Structure 1
Amino acid sequence: MASGLGNKLTGQIGEFLVCAELGRQLDLIATPFAGNVPLFDLLVADEQCRSLPIQVKAARGLQWSTRADAWLHLEVVGRRQVDHGDRELDHPSLIYVYVAIAPRTDSPTPPRDRFFVLTQRDVQQIVAPAYRAYMESRSVPWQRPRNHASFDARLDAAQLEPYEHNWDLIRRQLEMQSVP
């Protein structure tokens, strides 16, 4: 399967899995927007018509790619990166759901998809220190080995485990809204 199609399918599967899980876990209605809304992937609503946008990040493994410069003010000076601190987030309470899509199997008890539910601020508080530690550990600190302007970073399921099945975060954010 072509990489572009594979990535689209992974995103689509992740969004629909999250919609289904929101119905199963919280009795909420959710609908995806097929990638047409830049800040979020789906909208969830409860019986009181309160709603929340949700960003979904899906992977067919236990790692998700992100850009460190989405979370940190980074500058490239010569061959080194310079850290100017954490970025100010526009939507720190925006909910992110990271989905680890279980592999296909013929087993009678297939592996389960994994869901990690957290806020944009929580993601930043994971990515920023991890990226700083990685860059400090380089043989030449703050210099990427091949492409000095690369801001590639990874989130690993082990880093997200405290947020696994944290569906109550969505319920709490909905309940904080006044009923329209």
Structure 2
Amino acid sequence: MIKGLSTKLAGQVGEFLVCAELGKRGLIATSFTGNVPEFDLIVADENLNTVPIQVKTSRVDNWPTRADLWIDIEIDHNSKKQIDLGNEKISNPDLIYICVNLAEIESGKIDRFFILKKSDLQQICSKNYREWMESINWQRPRNYKSLDNRYYLDNLIPFENNWALVENQLNPNKSSQGSPN
């Protein structure tokens, strides 16, 4: 399969799997198939409360992202080092992200869902990037301008099946807070 097509297909599958899981929970979800910049789905409950959701899907144990989405980074072209100026002020910090880990059909494993806020993902991504960059003195070995960053399945475990977060954003008057564990 062509790589770009495979990535697009994985994203589409992830969105539809999330819609199906939300449907099982009595919620209505519809996908915009990548045509809206900040979110992929709109979810509604029986009272017509709605919440947007961003879906990220991976066939492996990590998801790619860019460090400059989460951290204010300056690049010193003379020293070829990156300079950490602190966390970015992100838009919509309460936006729900659902990260889907697709299982291979032959593996007998199941698809996994990790539900967290954008602000939680910022903490994970900025921590991962800072730890790695500190280990190499903030100077990337191949391309000093690269901002490639990853977050991993292990980072998301506390948020696995945290569907209460969606329900609580739809109905904030419920007693539970939707926090993992």
- Shorter-chain TM-score bucket reads over 0.9
Secondary structure at 2:168 match in 1: helix
What TM-score do you get using the length of structure 1 for normalisation?
0.93
Please report how far the alpha carbon of residue 21 of structure 1 lies from its aligned counterpart in structure 2 after TM superposition.
0.8
Which blocks of at least 5 consecutive residues in structure 1 are unaligned?
Answer: none
Paired residue for 2:134?
136
Please report how far the alpha carbon of residue 98 of structure 1 lies from its aligned counterpart in structure 2 after TM superposition.
0.3
What TM-score do you get using the length of structure 2 for normalisation?
0.92
Is 2:117 the partner of 1:116? no
Is 2:150 the partner of 1:154? yes
Paired residue for 1:87?
88
Q: Aligned partner of 2:89: which letter?
A: E
Q: 1:165 aligns with which of 153, 161, 168?
A: 161
CA distance in 1, matches of 2:109, 2:143: 37
Secondary structure at 1:58 match in 2: strand
The C-alpha deviation readout for 1:147-168, integer Å capped at 9, x for no partner, is 0001111110000000000000
CA distance in 2, matches of 1:62, 1:19: 22
Paired residue for 2:97?
96
Paired residue for 1:32?
31
CA distance in 1, matches of 2:61, 2:99: 10
Please report how far the alpha carbon of residue 116 of structure 1 lies from its aligned counterpart in structure 2 after TM superposition.
0.3
Secondary structure at 1:44 match in 2: strand
Please report how far the alpha carbon of residue 5 of structure 1 lies from its aligned counterpart in structure 2 after TM superposition.
0.7
Q: Aligned partner of 2:97: which letter?
A: Y
CA distance in 2, matches of 1:61, 1:22: 23
CA distance in 2, matches of 1:2, 1:54: 28
Secondary structure at 1:133 match in 2: helix
Paired residue for 2:176?
none
Please report how far the alpha carbon of residue 131 of structure 1 lies from its aligned counterpart in structure 2 after TM superposition.
0.7
Q: Aligned partner of 1:121: which letter?
A: S
The C-alpha deviation readout for 1:71-93, integer Å capped at 9, x for no partner, is 00001102100010000011000
Which portions of structure 1, spanning 4 or more consecutive aligned residues, are displaced by more than 3 angstroms?
Answer: none
CA distance in 2, matches of 1:132, 1:116: 23
Paired residue for 2:10?
10
Secondary structure at 1:85 match in 2: strand
CA distance in 2, matches of 1:31, 1:167: 17
CA distance in 2, matches of 1:44, 1:19: 8
Q: Aligned partner of 2:27: which letter?
A: L
Secondary structure at 1:55 match in 2: strand
The C-alpha deviation readout for 1:5-28, integer Å capped at 9, x for no partner, is 11110000000000011112x210
The C-alpha deviation readout for 1:117-159, integer Å capped at 9, x for no partner, is 0000000011111111110001xx0000000001111110000
Count matched residues.
171
CA distance in 2, matches of 1:60, 1:129: 23
CA distance in 2, matches of 1:103, 1:111: 7
